Structure 1
Amino acid sequence: MLLSVSRWTQQDYADAVRTHDELEEPGAEMSTVEARELRKRLRTPPASMLEAGLISGARRAVFAGGHLDRPSGPARRMYSLAYLALVRFDQALTGNRQCLDAAIILWRTCLEAWEAAGETERSAFAGEIHSVDCSLAGALGTRYNLNREFLVHPDPPLRPDDVRADLEEAFRAIERGTARLPSHRDGSDPQLQVFRQQLQAVKAYLVSLKYADMPAGPGSGSGSGSGSEMSAIVAELDLIPYAPPGDTTGARSTWLGTRMFLAQALSGPGARISDLRRAEKVLLGFLEAPDLTEESLIAAAQLSLATARMLLADSTGDERYRPLAQDAFEQSYLTGARSNLRTAWDAATQQAGWARRDGHRLVAARAYAAAFRVLPVLTHTQITRADKESALAMAADTLPMCARELANSSAPEDRIEAVLALEGARGVLLAEGLGQLAGPAADRATSRPSSTAEGDARTAQAIAYLTRELDGLRRQELTHPAGTAWRGAARMAACQRQLALVHARSRDGSDEPASPDWQEIVTLAGDAPLVYLTVSRDGGAALVVTGEECRWTGPVPVDLPTLTVDVAGKLLDKLHEAEVLRDRQKSPKYGRTRGQLTRDVVNDLWAQVMQPIANVLADCERAVLLPGGLLGMLPLHAAGTCASKRVDKWRFLLETTALSYAPHAAALRSAARGRQAITRLTFVHPAPTPAHGASQPPLNVAAELSGVRSAHPPGVTMTEIESEEVSRARLLDALRTTDVLHFTGHGDVDSGNPLGSGLHLGGDARLKVRDLLAAHEVRAMFAVLSACGTAVTGDALPDEVVGLPAALIQAGLRGIVATQWTCFDDFTAPLMREFYRCWLSGTHPSVALARAQATVLRQGLLVNPFAWATFAYTGA
């Protein structure tokens, strides 16, 4: 399509570059015809269309030199590999870990090709090999720097030895590159001098990383090993001469990069005040360079400047440096948000860290909130689920503190920011899945009026095709056996890049945003108030969005000072203890029976969490809870007073307000789509499994089935899947053909690997969360999972709420009734009968469940909260 356009715009030139880089296969014998034709037009673009920057300059040099148009052979292969490695590294600056990994692999492959080539063949690539050594070392250092911060988490996704291996390989690459240089006869060659300077600069960067985690103080000064090595690095960098703007040998870009590394070396651990002042001066000079246009480099320099100024404020006691540092942090965030999301994240979190250390908790919370704004996009740029989870782990510790501080602020904008932080940083993987479920604007693209209808149709077709392929790859990854290498990551990355390219050329091709803004959250609260809950080490907080009255005044804050992470953990432990006890057996840990422990939990949840929230809700019919962290595993919907020996004095919140759950408002928005009448109900009752038949209560399927049958109206067709017919394929097929799926059986939860949690289907067969996430073409609107523990989530990333309800919502369902622990069929049958009778008569499912629980409770059937509080509703 681009080649058919006679006169390109600046956007066309940018799209042509990206199209070329997708068409160029790494190491291929020849470029495609389209790639060659695009290169011809990209060799001599008009000056007004030239894109500034180091990568763009390197690209033009490769095109003008005809390196990718060489005849097939080792030189052509190595140039192709090196070129695409540089492109992928540039793409990695957006925070895309998969592109960084791809660049490293390509540079390694380039080195392998060099080793396999003969001396004659190497001569055609002699200059480029130095850039490969240097670039590989820099990329490995970058990945090391990204990975090492994950090692501070209790359950790091990476092994320390694997992280350190990158830094060790990077130093070897520098040594290898340095050893190559003297082998050339002409030591005065300007280009070789540039290569030597580049190696020195990258070595300085690696040395600064090597000592980045060393504490300042005695033993880390100039007399120590680290100090002497850093001093030697500074001396080497000082020898690199100034290069003026307009230089064509690469010396100018090398000198600019050297200034950055010099500043980092000067402001390393144990830096002297004089070194810090010089680092500030070097960075200011760098930022004032007239030919510095790449925003990603500017953002990085601003971040280094902020760090140097904060260290100067600490070292000198001169408070004038602090506002200057804060300004540099904010500028780095703003610049990074446009060019390098990772730098934006680092700028905001480092600013927050300094403020928190100095006791400025609200300032820290505001900075963390800014970081959480880029988190969903930063996560989205990762390709594989493992990389996404690693990115999300960065927010695990700071989100609750941030939200509580902002919630307690008197400023409405702070409380609104707290809601947006919670909305943006919770359930990011689920929100991304819901965005894919909603699909791109392909349908809108085909119907919009345009004079280029044929081109728009092709764009819409391309978007639809790429979206389907990307969704298929995502499902393949989920169903891939754990512990084995998945080969689809590279294709997934390429597909995502192509989709971004097509969207860039589309006039209206953007997806619906995954995270709703404040105005949409207020609108969503019009159906039922939204209650965001968070718990930190210092206490908890709730933010209640009651509807239109909150649009300008912000959410209603509720401080929960006694609700700490330790308190929530103890309540959860009591529930776990109650679940393993038999009737009338007392816990050796707490000295209480199952019923007593559950009543303790329900009472505490009322006193410490839900009573002040109930005062805000003011007896409204229903509300939606959006709990974070461990709160998502507690029966908040069952809170009440049941300490009295007289049952008639017990009161539960569900008797006035039905409470349902949602991971975030984006799930409500998606689940509320396409409401229609219920006409088909499928009842599934698998045979007992050997693993659960003895330890769990026996299944009274007949009583439950009879209760459901007696409740459903004549217009609903009910289908049964007998025990011997239950299978994974049959259950997934039922989700594609029914409106309501009612499953009675057993489930289990793997808290360390929530994607492995699932439903038991008889024998050894199971339907896992990953199977549900990989499902497609789902018709079902609701699921009733009358099985043990079907609403439990994993505890590694609790804010990702990866459990059966969330998985079914992502698959396309509106709502799910599930259980938070063991359920007993003697109590379940009458509860289900009341629930279906109320629900299928037109009541909202969350209200129907609450009324059913209240009815059987008041009839004396389910006095013990352990029996009825296990059931909860999630969804719209």
Structure 2
Amino acid sequence: MAWAEWAVGTGVADFAAEAYQHLVALTARDAAVRSGAGARDRVLAAAQEYAEEAGYWLARTGRHREAALALETGRAVGLTEALAAVSEGDPPDNGARYEDITAETGDGAIVYLAAAKAGGYALIVAARHDPQYINLPRLDRATVAALVGDVLPAQQPSTGIARMREIVPGRSRPTDPMAVALRKLFEDGLKNLVPGAGGRIVTLVPVGLLSLLPIHVVVPFPAVRYVPNARALGRCRAVTRELAGRDDTLLAVDVPGGHGAGPGGYLHHVARETAEVTRLWTGSPARPLHACTWAEFRAAADRHSVWHLACHGAAEPGSILDTRLYFADRHITLQELRRALRPGRRRLAVLSACQTNIIGSALPNEMVGLPSALIQIGFAGVIASAWAVDDLATTYLMAAFYRHWRREGTEPAVALGRAQRWLRGATWADLEALLPGVGPRDDAEYPYADPRYWAAFAYTGA
């Protein structure tokens, strides 16, 4: 670290690139050989900014492949180690090759996004050629840190709706912190990604503090997914290949009034949501579990490859293992979920609840949260939300998603994007045609055009 500090102080980009490149490699190896989660986490906590700085200085010297490798190596070190140990039985060395990244670009580009001290940047990897480097000087670490501080959820469970206005340049000025942050991300750099990234599905790997923001809302690609890193995407794809040809089995549960979720938090539409999900299901017959208890869910979970949970959720970004899902008899923390759920090859988990896609703010590069926990136990993909979501809007969104995925055979990440675009432009006639007799009408022509209704959910994995 002293070497890196000296190198940056010289102002010579080559010196800083070399020092930080070594730091990232050493940190990944050091964390892999530590005994005990506490010792490993101390190493990773000390290294939170190394990957972003390494990528920045390497890119400044024109070494774009090595910059992408630095971000790949320094991202989700613990998860990469755990996935490799489960798959191969041997501890990995956490080394990555550029070929590991390009191997996962068959259906679209992988976009690494990072905010270093001196400025932000993107590295777009497509096919086997060198990454495209895009300088985002206005998205430096201090700027992104300020945005994150404004939008992280409160510690108490929320049963309301995130207040967001349409995020379109030149239109009404948003006042909600989340909308302000997303507008700034778009206008200060992310709009520049459009020419460089393409493909059927664009894969986002936000690094460092950018991991704490729902970037998918302001990158106008038809279909977007997140992954912890390219190697994790490869593991998720291996699960989909293993499950190919087998009938998926669905476990759909709803909990209208979660135990301890607070007053005024009754979810009036989740029972209709799970009823529609099971109606649209293809494959092995399924029936929803209404007012599901933790014991009922745990007893049934191992027998199913798709989980749909419509319930309350609450995130604790400052103490991420205390993030909660609310069942009828009790709430379950992320810490308890990690201990209780058995590993197994499964296709998809849909967390149709508030704040289920929020990760820990202490170690953002480690992606500790519900999606990574489910990927670690064997899921190929996870759908989860970035803020408090509206009960009725989510019912429409999920019905549209399952229609695209199960009835039309669309890949899940693409199906989610199509469902979100549909809900954004749906009229009352469209909504009534999908789910007759569900919601009250108002005077709006497009009642769910506002991003707060459709944009919270994101896809992680394959």
Bin for the TM-score computed over the shorter chain: 0.7 to 0.9
Shift of 1:419: 1.5
- In the other structure, the counterpart of 1:839 is 405
Secondary structure of the corresponding residue to residue 400 of structure 2: helix
User: Aligned partners of 2:284 and 2:231: how far apart in 1?
Assistant: 30
Is 1:630–2:209 an aligned residue pair? yes
Question: Is 1:765 matched up with 2:331?
Answer: yes
2:289 to 712, 721, 731: 721
Kindly provide the amino acid, as one letter, of the partner of residue 692 in structure 1.
A
Q: Tell me the alpha carbon deviations over residues 274-319 of structure 1, each in whole angstroms, 9 at most, x when there is no partner.
A: xxxxxxxxxxxxxxxxxxxxxxxxxxxxxxxxxxxxxxxxxxxxxx
Structure 2 CA distance for partners of 1:617 and 1:709, relative to 1, 3 Å: same
Whether 2:440 is the aligned partner of 1:875: answer no
Residues 1:702 and 2:271 aligned together:
yes
**Cα distance in 2 between the residues matched to 1:798 and 1:852:** 29
Q: Tell me the equivalent position of 2:87.
A: 438
- Secondary structure of the equivalent of 2:344? coil
Structure 1 359/602 Cα, relative in aligned 2: closer, same or farther at 3 Å?
Answer: closer
1:478-557 mapped onto 2 (5 Å cutoff): 514-548=94-128, 550=129, 554-557=130-133
Cα distance in 2 for partners of 1:566, 1:613 equals: 21
Q: Conserved in 1, the CA contact under 8 Å of 2:212 and 2:361?
A: no
* Aligned with 2:223 (options 633, 650, 658): 658
Aligned to 2:140: 564
Q: Which amino acid aligns with 1:634?
A: L
Judge conservation of contact 1:400–1:536 (CA < 8 Å) in 2: yes
Greater Cα shift, 420-429 or 395-404:
395-404
Distance 1:696 1:759, change over 3 A: same
> Going by fraction, where is helix more abundant, 1 or 2?
1
Structure 1 distance, partners of 2:79, 2:159, is 34
Q: Is the 8 A contact 1:624 1:659 kept in 2?
A: yes
Separation in structure 2 between the aligned mates of residue 679 and residue 524 of structure 1, nearest angstrom:
24
Residue in structure 2 matched with residue 613 of structure 1 by the alignment: 193
Task: Give the deviation of 1:426 after TM superposition.
Answer: 1.4
Map residues 285-296 of structure 1 onto 2, 5 A cutoff.
none
Q: Are the counterparts in 2 of residues 671 and 809 from structure 1 also a CA contact under 8 Å? A: yes
Q: Would you say how many aligned residue pairs link Structure 1 and Structure 2? A: 430
Task: Describe the SS at the equivalent of 2:47.
Answer: coil
**In the alignment, is the contact (CA less than 8 A) between 2:276 and 2:399 conserved in 1?**
yes
Q: Supply the distance in 1 between the matched residues of 2:117 and 2:59 (Cα, whole angstroms).
A: 15
Alpha-carbon distance in 2 for matches of 1:668, 1:853: 23
Tell me which amino acid in the other structure corresponds to 1:789: Q
Choose which of 22, 31, 40 in structure 2 pairs with 1:370: 22
Whether the 8 Å CA contact 1:407–1:557 is kept in 2: the answer is yes
Give the 3 Å change call, closer, same or farther, for CA 774–399 of structure 1 in structure 2: farther
Q: Separation in 1 of the partners of 2:367 and 2:390?
A: 25
SS in 1 for 2:277: helix
CA contact (8 A) 1:584 1:593 kept: no
Match of 2:431 in 1: none
Does the 8 Å contact 1:637/1:658 carry over to 2?
Answer: no
Pairing 1:667-816 to 2, within 5 Å after superposition: 667-673=232-238, 674-676=242-244, 677-694=246-263, 696=265, 698-713=267-282, 715-723=283-291, 725-727=292-294, 729-772=295-338, 775-816=341-382
More strand by share: 2
CA offsets per residue over residues 177-212 of structure 1, 9 Å max, x none?
A: xxxxxxxxxxxxxxxxxxxxxxxxxxxxxxxxxxxx
Work out whether 1:425 is the aligned partner of 2:74.
yes
State the SS of the aligned residue for 2:183.
helix
One-letter amino acid matched to 2:230: A
Q: Which has the larger radius of gyration?
A: 1
Select the structure with the greater relative contact order (CA < 8 A; seq sep ≥ 6): 2
Q: Which amino acid counterpart does residue 105 of structure 2 have in structure 1?
A: A
Which residues of structure 2 form unaligned runs of 5+? 165-171, 427-445
- After TM superposition, give the deviation of residue 659 of structure 1 in Å: 1.1
| One-letter amino acid of the structure 1 residue matched with residue 9 of structure 2 | R
The alpha carbon displacement at 1:629 in A equals 1.7
The alpha-carbon distance between structure 1 residues 738 and 850, as it changes in their structure 2 partners (threshold 3 A), is same
- Mapped contact 2:293–2:329 kept (Cα < 8 A): no
Distance 1:709 1:813 in 2: 20
Alpha carbons of structure 1 residues 734 and 669: separation in structure 2 relative to 1, 3 Å: farther
Q: Which residue of 2 aligns with 1:135?
A: none
Q: What amino acid maps onto 1:683 in structure 2?
A: A
How far 1:762 sits from its partner (Å)?
Answer: 2.8
Aligned equivalents of 2:267 and 2:61: distance in 1?
Answer: 52
SS in 1 for 2:188: helix
Give the Å deviation of 1:773. 5.8
Structure 1 pair 577/372, CA: closer, same or farther in 2 (3 Å)? closer
Distance 1:740 1:688 in 2: 23
Query: How far apart are the structure 2 equivalents of 1:407 and 1:519?
Result: 18
CA deviation string 1:445-488 (max 9, x = no partner): xxxxxxxxxxxxxxxxxxxxxxxxxxxxxxxxxxxxxxxxxxxx
* Residue among 35, 45, 58 paired with 1:406: 58
CA distance in 2, matches of 1:726, 1:763: 5
Aligned-partner residue type, residue 855 of structure 1: W
Shift in Å, 1:543: 0.7
CA contact 2:255–2:270 (8 Å) conserved in 1: no
Contact map agreement 1:747 1:760 (CA 8 A) in 2: yes
Change (3 A) 1:852 1:585: closer
Compared with structure 1, are the counterparts of its residues 574 and 775 closer, same or farther at alpha carbon in structure 2 (3 Å cutoff)? same
Cα distance in structure 1, aligned partners of 2:123 and 2:415: 25
8 Å contact 1:380–1:388 — kept in the other structure?
yes
In structure 1, distance between residues paired with 2:153 and 2:228: 26
Give, in whole Å, the separation in 2 of the partners of 1:512 and 1:377: 9
The residue that corresponds to 1:222 in the other structure is none
Give the CA deviation at 1:631: 1.1
Structure 1 runs, 4 residues or longer, greater than 6 Å off:
577-586, 592-595
Which whole-Å CA distance do the structure 2 matches of 1:376 and 1:576 have between them? 28
For 1:821, the equivalent position in structure 2 comes to: 387
TM-aligned CA deviation for residue 786 of structure 1: 0.3
Q: Distance in 2 between matches of 1:836 and 1:530?
A: 26
SS at match of 1:372: helix
Deviations 1:22-69 (A, max 9, x none): xxxxxxxxxxxxxxxxxxxxxxxxxxxxxxxxxxxxxxxxxxxxxxxx
Is the CA contact 1:544–1:556 (under 8 Å) kept in the aligned structure 2?
yes
Paired with 2:138 and 2:158, the residues of 1 have a C-alpha distance of: 28
- Give the whole-Å Cα distance in 2 for the aligned partners of 1:539 and 1:695: 44
Helix, strand or coil at the partner of 2:124 = strand
Given the superposition, is the C-alpha separation of residues 526 and 369 from structure 1 closer, same or farther in structure 2, using an over 3 Å criterion? same
Would the alpha carbon gap of residues 583 and 522 (structure 1) be closer, same or farther in structure 2, given more than 3 Å must change? closer
Q: Partner of 2:388: helix, strand, or coil? A: coil
Alignment of 1:104-253 (within 5 A): none
In 1, Cα distance between equivalents of 2:197 and 2:96: 23
Tell me, yes or no, if the aligned pair for 1:788 and 1:822 is still in contact at 8 Å.
Answer: yes
Match of 2:12 among 335, 338, 360: 360
| Cα distance change of structure 1 residues 385 and 775 upon mapping to structure 2, 3 Å threshold | same
Aligned runs of 1:460-479 on 2, under 5 Å? none
Distance in 2 separating the partners of 1:582 and 1:526: 40
CA distance in 1, matches of 2:28, 2:224: 27
| Residues 691 and 595 of structure 1, relative CA distance in 2, 3 Å threshold | farther
Give distance in 2, aligned partners of 1:583 and 1:624: 28
| CA distances 1:661-702 after superposition (whole Å, capped 9, x unpaired) | 011112111111124244211111135235424264634112
Q: Which amino acid aligns with 1:366?
A: E
Alpha-carbon contact 2:24-2:50 (below 8 Å) kept? no
Q: Distance in 2 between matches of 1:530 and 1:874?
A: 13
Please tell me the residue identity of whatever aligns with 1:718: A
User: Cα–Cα, structure 1 residues 594 and 870, in superposed 2: closer, same or farther, change >3 Å?
Assistant: farther
Deviation at 1:395, TM superposition (A): 1.1
